[in-house]
Amino acid sequence: MTRSVAIFLLAALALPAQDRYAKLMRDILIFDAHIDTPRYFLDEGYRLRDEHKYYELDIPRMRKGKLGAVMFGIYAQPQDFPPERWLPRSLEVIDALHTEVAANAKDMEFAYTAADVERIHKQGKLAAMASLEGGHLIGDSLGVLRAFHRLGIRYMTLAHFASNSFADSMTGEKLHTGLSKFGKELVGEMNRIGMIVDVSHISDKAVLDAVEFSRSPVIASHSSSLAMAPIVRNMPDNVIAAIGKRGGVICINFHAGYLDKAAYSVYFKNRPARDAEIKAITAKTPIDWDAVRAVQKKYFEKMPKVSYTELLKHIDHIAKTAGVDAVGLGSDFDGISGMAPVGMEDVSKYPVLVKGLIDMGYSDADIRKIMGQNLLRVLRQNEEVAKQK
Ligand SMILES: [Zn+2]
């Protein structure tokens, strides 16, 4: 074969993939289950309309990445705030989210339902949703849970970094061997009102309990695969398979340290020193956020580089373990202290996943599921279960 014939043949083979990519990118719904930007609106006056060289989401970059819908995380980490601040802080952050969405009405709209997401996406705007990270934030009150639902919260992670009265955290004390009796009651109430049960952060036994007791499919809003990267925050295959079997979705966390064991080891070793430096800065008011970010960057640079292709491998592993209906995206952008993979630095980069999945042999229908439709389907199923009295 002459060189020119070979080039011609390669070009002919490459064309359909290019066409498929262009066609998909015209209307694909890219739906991310977990992005933590809202606290920056409150603490730093971070504004979505401006393009930034730091953090991972703003409107100009969201437009470049064709991002269609986001479940924004509302939280107050139990280790960072005293218990009396948990509820007020969560309310302040969700208030800041609503205010920021309203201030950018040309580009985004708050969504309460799966139908809202589809309508807003068709109008070419971002559908902004809200979620609550950690059962500690509702103060052991199902009334507070319902009030949060009225404010737009559409999933709640049962526990965060610490165990609580509902569930054991995977990084906390083992209080209940899984879900407590109150935790099971909470799951029932979430099903009744149509709030998705999120099983990220909770112990494997608590996940299996939640899957068993939930009448609606659950999600893991930002979790990666333990088989691919054996670290404490990731999910083992039996848990992933159990979630998928009941129609749930595991939304992959993009944290470079959660995708790659070697990167995690360096991160874990340096974390106490990093956190001590950050604490020294945040102890002084006004807080110098540029200095905080500089410390985060300095420690991130000590970690081995992790490519976005690792992310594709986690996606592929979960698809093979639990089926293609069980995979989604839960980047954890703006919650990972800048530790994003190379090639997936911020929300402008999602299209590389579409390209990557085409190259890995996924069909258009499967790519649409992974990039957003699976998560949308679970949201709709939770609404349907809530309608059945
Ligand atoms: Zn988290």
Tens of pLDDT, residue by residue, the chain (389 residues): 556 666 655 555 556 888 999 999 999 999 999 999 999 999 999 999 999 999 999 999 999 999 999 999 999 988 889 999 999 999 999 999 999 999 999 999 999 999 999 999 999 999 999 999 999 999 999 999 999 999 999 999 999 989 999 999 999 889 998 999 999 999 999 999 999 999 999 999 999 999 999 999 999 999 999 999 999 999 999 999 999 999 999 999 999 999 999 999 999 999 999 999 999 999 999 999 999 999 999 999 999 999 999 999 999 999 999 999 999 999 999 999 999 999 999 999 999 999 999 999 999 999 999 999 999 999 999 999 999 97
Q: How far is the CA of 381 from the centre of ligand 1 (A)?
A: 24
Domain 28-260+306-387 class, CATH top level: alpha beta
Looking at the DSSP bridge assignments, the partners of residue 251 are: 328
Query: Residue 16's pLDDT is what?
Result: 84
Q: Tell me if 247 sits within 8 A of 378, measured CB to CB.
A: yes
Whole-angstrom CA distances from 334 to 27, 41, 118, 346 are: 26, 12, 25, 9
Query: Residue 62's pLDDT is what?
Result: 98
Q: How far is the CA of 78 from the centre of ligand 1 (A)?
A: 12
Q: Is the peptide bond before 286 cis (omega within 30 degrees of 0)?
A: yes
Residue with tokens 């309508």: 119
Q: How far is the CA of 217 from the centre of ligand 1 (A)?
A: 20
Dist. CA 317–CA 295, nearest whole Å? 33
Q: How far is the CA of 197 from the centre of ligand 1 (A)?
A: 14
Q: Among candidates 191, 179, 71, which has minimal Cα distance to 135?
A: 179
Q: How far is the CA of 195 from the centre of ligand 1 (A)?
A: 18
Show the CA angle centred on residue 134, arms to residues 293 and 289, nearest 5°.
15
> pTM of the full predicted structure?
0.95
Show the CA angle centred on residue 98, arms to residues 35 and 89, nearest 5°.
75
Q: How far is the CA of 136 from the centre of ligand 1 (A)?
A: 13
Q: How far is the CA of 35 from the centre of ligand 1 (A)?
A: 9
Q: How far is the CA of 106 from the centre of ligand 1 (A)?
A: 30
Query: Residue 127's pLDDT is what?
Result: 98
Q: How far is the CA of 202 from the centre of ligand 1 (A)?
A: 10
Q: Tell me if 261 sits within 8 A of 252, measured CB to CB.
A: no
State the SS3 of the chain: CCHHHHHHHHHHHHHHHHHHHHHHHHHCCEEEEEECCHHHHHHHCCCCCCCCCCCCCCHHHHHHCCEEEEEEEECCCCCCCCHHHHHHHHHHHHHHHHHHHHHCCCCEEECCCHHHHHHHHHCCCEEEEEEEECHHHHCCCHHHHHHHHHCCEEEEECCCCCCCCCECECCCCCCCCCECHHHHHHHHHHHHHCCEEECCCECHHHHHHHHHHCCCCCEECCCCECCCCCCCCCECHHHHHHHHHCCCEEEECCCHHHHCHHHHHHHHHHHHHHHHHHHHHHCCCCCCHHHHHHHHHHHHCCCCCCEHHHHHHHHHHHHHHHCHHHEEECCCECCCCCCCCECCCCHHHCHHHHHHHHHCCCCHHHHHHHHHHHHHHHHHHHHHHHHCC
Dist. CA 235–CA 380, nearest whole Å? 25
Pairing of strands 108-110, 219-220: unpaired
Q: How far is the CA of 122 from the centre of ligand 1 (A)?
A: 30
Q: How far is the CA of 133 from the centre of ligand 1 (A)?
A: 7
